[in-house]
Structure 1
């Protein structure tokens, strides 16, 4: 009689365990895993070849660097305050009125290259290259590279091939905007030595509205090549107003009292190496030139 009892107990326990296991498998599929609905965030369109912006950048907190920045800004503020008592831009009023030539940019050391930035079509997927270094005697600026007009294969860009060197925006104390005041002059003076390629000189001025941030005044710089330097003088009245390469129908004189930057652009659609050496960039006063604007300026209400 003991044998049946021994065989019934394991069978009952086995049956109960099978029922529990079966119920467990039946309940599990009915409970769906917790899912969070995802939302696609459409970011700003990024051109092919342009590097992604890293929004999560590591912030290095340096107390000594911050103290140097504060000391630098207060020194600039002190100089601005006392320069106003001397005269315009820290010069006596008589010297400012009789000034006929002024060197704005010159290259006399590695620190002078820090005031310039380089760009090319490589930022949008192109193949052009541009570099900047000092000359052999460390007294000139040597801009060189390779121009390639092959457009990137992104299905959108049709034209390519440009290289640019542009000066940085001058800043006053506490990173306030500062402008070049050339109201006492009427001519741009450069001493360059190129390889025969034509360049475009671009002057960017301060604007009143945000949609005018791409407005720029341009004129041509023709280099003759060879080992000899050439002095180039371009009156401010010759610069024409353009917007992203398109010339405006309405022209007006250059605002010489609020010049922000100057740039040199190469885009002559000729593949190959290029070079441009610059000694200095300045402004001068030409008393024989009295023209205000070389282009026709339309009036909305012309005088009868």
Structure 2
């Protein structure tokens, strides 16, 4: 027996038609996505430039003379690695190393000390900022100077610009293995600087365990007073916060002091004009009055119930 046909009321047909038209007029709503750090991050490529397709061996310089110099250098470093542990850590007596409370890591006392540093700016990506590095008066200090310009390059894609940076080179051991600084027995960064009143950013890079962490940096601020007088700056390592490609991370943790690779200074205060920063030395010290372990909130991954 066929089922009876059900006739809709006019009011029900009108409500159904209105609801159908509302769905057509509403824009498509996409679910909110939380920005996450990319697992695979490639090398930086200037906007507007085509990607270069090269084989890995095309960038290698096959030189016999350079190969002999590399072998001699690696054997010298390898010999030092074997002899230093018999004297003490880093070639110092073991008693001096145990009682050490202050250590100068970088000091500028000659032209060879500048070879441990590299200078860069947004000029490499088409910007107009310039930075230079030279020895100060009497060849006893490092003098970083230049001009900062926040004008972005005219490539149609880059919107922000204006930075200058100075960074120490990665120290290498024999066979091009990375050499790390062990600052685990210290808790404070000690600098003697003389600036022009601009705020700088101190960047410390440590060894990472995963490839997507290669852009992680620990940062804190360096406020210079300006004027002719030197200032001794002491910054506890507990104040440094974690960033990745200039973005502060939610998951914060103390800096890994046992495997420090490089340290750098970045200027990007958007104040166009000349700048200068003079550095006498960069060291670490042990401040027994500072007992803070970490200055920022740490989230528990698996909170207790």
The alignment's TM-score, normalised by the length of structure 1, stands at 0.80
Say whether residues 1:104 and 2:113 are aligned partners.
no
- Conservation of the 8 A alpha-carbon contact between 1:203 and 1:216: yes
| 1:58 CA displacement | 9.3
Instruction: Provide the aligned C-alpha RMSD in A.
Output: 2.2
- When structure 1 is superposed on structure 2, of 294-303 and 48-57 the one drifting more is 48-57
Alpha-carbon distance between aligned partners in 1 of 2:199 and 2:82, rounded to the nearest angstrom: 43
Q: How does 1:93-172 map to 2 (within 5 A)?
A: 93-172=94-173
Distance 1:47 1:79, change over 3 A: same
**Counterpart residue number, 2:68:** 67
Alpha-carbon distance between aligned partners in 2 of 1:45 and 1:189, rounded to the nearest angstrom: 33
- Conservation of the 8 A alpha-carbon contact between 1:49 and 1:122: no
| 1:96 CA displacement | 1.4
| 1:244 CA displacement | 1.1
Say whether residues 1:284 and 2:288 are aligned partners.
no
1:110-151 Cα offsets, whole Å, 9 max, x none, are 111111111111111110000000002100000000000001
Alpha-carbon distance between aligned partners in 2 of 1:272 and 1:173, rounded to the nearest angstrom: 43
**Counterpart residue number, 1:202:** 203
Distance 1:58 1:252, change over 3 A: closer
**Counterpart residue number, 1:87:** 88
Q: How does 1:1-304 map to 2 (within 5 A)?
A: 46-48=45-47, 59=61, 61-63=63-65, 65-303=66-304
Counterpart secondary structure, 1:104: strand
- Conservation of the 8 A alpha-carbon contact between 1:50 and 1:123: no
Alpha-carbon distance between aligned partners in 1 of 2:207 and 2:108, rounded to the nearest angstrom: 25
**Counterpart residue number, 2:5:** none
| 1:73 CA displacement | 1.3
Provide structure 1 residue ranges, at least 5 long, that are not aligned to the other structure.
1-43
| 1:45 CA displacement | 8.5
Provide structure 2 residue ranges, at least 5 long, that are not aligned to the other structure.
1-42
The alignment's TM-score, normalised by the length of structure 2, stands at 0.80
Moved over 4 A (4+): 48-60
